[in-house]
Amino acid sequence: MARATVFALRGELDHHSAVQLAEAADAALAGPRLQPLLVIDCADLDFCDSTGISTLVTIHQRLSARGGVLRLAAVPGSVARVFGLTGLDQAIGVFATAQRALADTLHPPTGDIPSSAPAARERQVEGR
């Protein structure tokens, strides 16, 4: 069974809140017990600026360097448009729901194939 961390974003991912997300991701990447799958649930995300996008790219790069995978889930229309225009949706897997992101077995985060209900730790990162 794959280990996973799920962050739920709320509000705006901008130059103010991106610091919180980066710190939370750094904590998830720290130490010997790396969670190989990080899912960011965007269902309650209203806005994402260039700092937010840069933060997501940095998290993706850091996680990939350690053998992990970043997935985005439930991205609302206006935010999905920004992710599409910037190509972020091509670099990072985007799923309809966090459950689907956790259950995807076509692109496992490690050599292990995740079950349909991997163990997940949830943490909310809230914007303004």
Domain that holds residue 40: 3-126
- The stretch 73-96 carries a mean pLDDT of 96
- Of residues 109 and 116, more confidently modeled: 109
Task: Please state whether 67 falls in left (phi above 0), alpha (psi between -120 and 50) or beta.
Answer: left
pLDDT for the residue numbered 118 = 35
Residues 128, 16 contacting (CB under 8 angstroms): yes
Which CATH number characterizes residue 10's domain? 3.30.750.24
**The pLDDT value given to residue 35:** 76
How many domains are contained in the chain? 1
Task: Give residue-wise pLDDT tens across range 34-54.
Answer: 778 999 999 999 999 999 999
- pLDDT of the residue at 113: 28
Report pLDDT digits (tens) over 68-80.
899 999 999 999 9
Instruction: Give this prediction's pTM.
Output: 0.80
Res 114 pLDDT > 50: no
pLDDT at 64: 92
The 10 Å Cβ neighbour count of residue 115 is 12
- Give the mean pLDDT of 16-34: 88
Give the separation between CA 109 and CA 112, rounded to whole angstroms.
Answer: 7
How high is the mean pLDDT of the chain? 84
11-15, 55-59, 100-104: least confident range: 100-104
Angstrom distance (rounded) from CA 65 to CA 42: 23
Residues 8 and 43 sit within 8 Å (Cβ to Cβ): yes
- Give the Cα separation of 31 and 17 in Å (integer): 24
**125 residue type, one letter:** V
Amino acid at 59: I
